[in-house]
Amino acid sequence: MLLLADQAHQDEAIASILMVEESTVHRTHQRYVEEGVELALSERSRKGTEKKLTAPAEACLIATACSSPPSGPESWTMQLLADK
């Protein structure tokens, strides 16, 4: 997005190319100008429910889901992961 803006593409064209809303392009470009590239490309925290898993629990879940499932099923199911 920022590379296209740097190549003098207009927000409307960038939005069309990337299949996003024009407001997203404008907001990202504005954050880049005001806050720099790193913050422009990172997600801001959002309001909403708290995460249900701690970072270590999330890492364990991902590691388990990426491992071989128990003998029987071909892949992990949500229920198998929950039971684990």
Q: How much is the pLDDT for 66?
A: 92
Q: Read off the pTM.
A: 0.51
Q: What is the DSSP string of the chain?
A: -HHHHHTT--HHHHHHHHTS-HHHHHHHHHHHHHH-HHHHTSPPP-SSPPPSS-HHHHHHHHHHHHSPPPSSSSS--HHHHHH-
Q: How much is the pLDDT for 8?
A: 93
Read off the pLDDT of residues 19-75 as tens digits, 9 standing for 90 and up: 999 999 999 999 899 988 888 888 777 777 777 888 899 999 999 999 999 888 889
